[in-house]
Amino acid sequence: MIDVLLIVFIITLFYLSIANRLLSYTKVLAVQGVLLFFVVFLQLNEINTLNLVLIMLETIVFKAVAVPMFLAYLLRRNNITREAEPYLPNFVSLLITTAIVIATILLSNSIKDTHLDKMFFVVALSTIFSGLYIIASRRKIITHVMGYMIIENGVFVLSLAVGNEMPHLVNLGIMLDIFASVLILGIFLNKIGDVFKDVDVEQLTNLKDY
């Protein structure tokens, strides 16, 4: 069952690479959040209430509801045009994402470590690298934020790959990460929307050496 969920997760990455509208990005992020929740729920064999509440907070509340809603709100508020405007055609994006997934599968096959769940490892690494690719290949600042959120999801899967019993500090780290990403990125995106009218990275090229 977990494997099925993880494969669906990979499929969301393929979908992201060809998605055209920004709203579908937010929807995919929400779907990823829900998927992550079920993965964690099935993965942890003994759950105490505190841990469950924490994980609920991280996945359902933050990743599946709050962040996508906030991003959708930003899209409306700043009147951002609805296309993602990638630098490369969607077909190339799809090819690159496929290449990333294949490369991580090859990499994970070369690892001989019994402690590691390879399925998680493949999903985590391909999510992180697709996130980086989305950041690099899209023109709008808000897609950069979405790419960052995808990387965060990858990191979350990776922390599941590392072990069922996460040390409390790592848990705390994830919370802080969410805190930082939502707070800093959200607030500044708000400000950037006010100051620059259409939010495009090309407008952020005024800092120069001379």
Residues near another protein (CB under 8 A) are 111, 113, 115-116, 128, 141, 144, 148, 151-152, 155, 158-159, 161-163, 167, 169-170, 172-173, 176-177, 180-181, 183-185, 188, 191-192, 195-196, 204, 206-210
Q: Minimal distance in Å, beta carbon 79 to another protein?
A: 18
Contacts 24+ apart (CB under 8 A), 18-24: 18/90, 18/91, 18/93, 18/94, 19/84, 20/83, 20/84, 20/90, 21/82, 21/83, 21/84, 22/75, 22/80, 22/82, 22/83, 22/84, 22/140, 22/142, 22/143, 22/146, 23/72, 23/75, 23/82
Smallest gap from Cβ 151 to another protein, in A, equals 6
Contact 3, 119 (CB under 8 A): yes
> Between 11 and 194, whose beta carbon lies closer to another protein?
194
Supply the minimum distance, in Å, between the C-beta of residue 180 and another protein: 6
What is the closest distance, in whole angstroms, from the C-beta atom of residue 186 to another protein in the complex?
A: 11
Nearer of residues 74 and 185 to another protein, judged by Cβ: 185
Distance, CA of 119 to CA of 46 (rounded, Å): 21
**CB-wise, 50 or 183, nearer to another protein?**
183
52 versus 180: smaller Cβ distance to another protein: 180
